[in-house]
Structure 1
Amino acid sequence: MTKFADIKGFVFDLDGVITDTSVLHGNAWHQLANDLRVTWTKELADGLKGISRMDSLEMILKAGRIENNYTPAQKEALATKKNTNYVAEVDKMTPANILPGMQAFLDDLRAKGYKLSLASASKNAPRVLDKLGLTDYFPEIVDPASLTHGKPDPEIYTKGAQLLNLDPAQCIGLEDAAAGVQAINAAGETSLGIGDASELSAADMVFADTAQVTLANIQQHLD
């Protein structure tokens, strides 16, 4: 078992850990659904969580029974339009969108000399960090374009440790999703889950929300 003293770096997921962009994705899809005159429902909104852009689009088109009205090229254009909507939402973000306790945690990590990297599958992650005022905290960001496998494959977390020149055993990975926790574990890092303990039962430690994530609480779990 890893000891707290062995930990030298932290590899962060972005969404649900540092900020909540799922709301912004929801807003962007909602705008597109309105444009397509598809009725927006809670079921539809919930169904889109955690699935790819094209799968999300198909779900919206099916909800409106218009999935056969568009060619593949037109569907690509609609997906691009959604991304434009999303980027416009991101551009409204401010440091007020950082999740509770995370700014203090990042400040503490930086003050104590821990190395930090970002392991987000989002191509817009650098833009989000910029709006949150956190760019300087993450000199190392895994480029999603360089990955061949998505989570739960460990690749993104393995790269997150490599960017810090650390052994995975010296790193803690932070995630809010079960697939992410699996990826951290498979990479050989210590997994810290944020959210529902039953959903994230594979994690080495679970905190109910971001406000609980402090170095003192992590040390308590590890030692």
Structure 2
Amino acid sequence: MIKGIIFDLDGVITDTAEFHYLSWKQLSNEERLNFDKLLNEKLKGVSRAKSLDRILKHNNTTFSKTKQKDCLERKNNYYLQYLKKITQKDYLPRIKKFLQELQASNIKIGLGSASKNALSVLERLEATPFFNVIGDGNSVKKAKPAPDLFLYVAKELGLTPNECIVIEDASSGIEAAHKAGMKAIGIGSKEVLGKAEVVLESTNFLKLEIIQNI
């Protein structure tokens, strides 16, 4: 029986993907690195440090640890400036209603996001009251596709993995859910998220019946 839902943040609750893209693009322009939206898609669900690694690898270059740290701090500062634009109007379609339905059904709600700014985003959305547990990039050492974050959230919710369903928009998140022993709902393209038990075109289609029938 499903007793808990673990949400990813970006692309599931709200969409800050464009903010990430603009932040990485600004940094890349400053460092004369090639960066486009196709590469940005490959950074979904990936930690900030691993994202920089992928950008550098894409450009066949390396930075010293000191320069990497500087780049990560600059990118985060750019991103934080964009986050100031988020309001409670920026939930993705039907998400707020779905969270309310889960609460009314006594289903526990957790967040499992790679972002270290997840709490700030939830606060700007005024969404923190919905969540029993918030797991983010500060909660565990190994990022997705490792299962650690989802296992951490399940444990904090007081649930076993098979009592939880993960809602994700990234293939790395679907992989992490399965490694954790959890079923997954993908939000987006079947081509990318086809390994999920259920794939929905958008959050508009999230309903309690889907959770109950997985």
Instruction: Give the alignment's TM-score, normalised by structure 1.
Output: 0.82
Counterpart among 9, 12, 15 of residue 20 in structure 1: 15
Whole-angstrom distance in 1 between the partners of 2:121 and 2:166 = 19
Task: Note the alpha carbon deviations across 1:146-198, whole angstroms, 9 max, x for none.
Answer: 42322222211111111110121111111111221121122122211111123
Please state if 1:8 is matched with 2:8: no
Count residues in correspondence.
214
Deviates more, 1:33-42 or 1:104-113: 33-42
Q: Please name the residue that 1:211 is paired with.
A: 204
Asked if 1:122 corresponds to 2:138, the answer is no
Normalised to the residue count of structure 2, the TM-score between the two structures is: 0.85
Farther-moved stretch of structure 1 (73-82 vs 52-61): 52-61
1:196 to 162, 168, 189: 189
Structure 1 pair 153–137 and aligned structure 2 pair: CA distance change class (3 A)? same
Identity of aligned residues (%): 39
CA distance in 2, matches of 1:158, 1:58: 25
Q: What secondary structure is seen at the aligned counterpart in 2 of 1:144? A: coil
Moved more, 28-37 or 132-141: 28-37
| Alignment RMSD | 2.7
State the match for 2:77 in structure 1.
84
Distance of aligned partners of 1:110 and 1:31 in 2 relative to their CA distance in 1, 3 Å threshold: same
Larger radius of gyration: 1
Structure 1: any 5+ residue segments left out of the alignment? 1-5
Moved beyond 4 Å, runs of 4+: 34-52, 54-65
Unaligned runs of 5+ in 2: none
SS at match of 2:189: coil
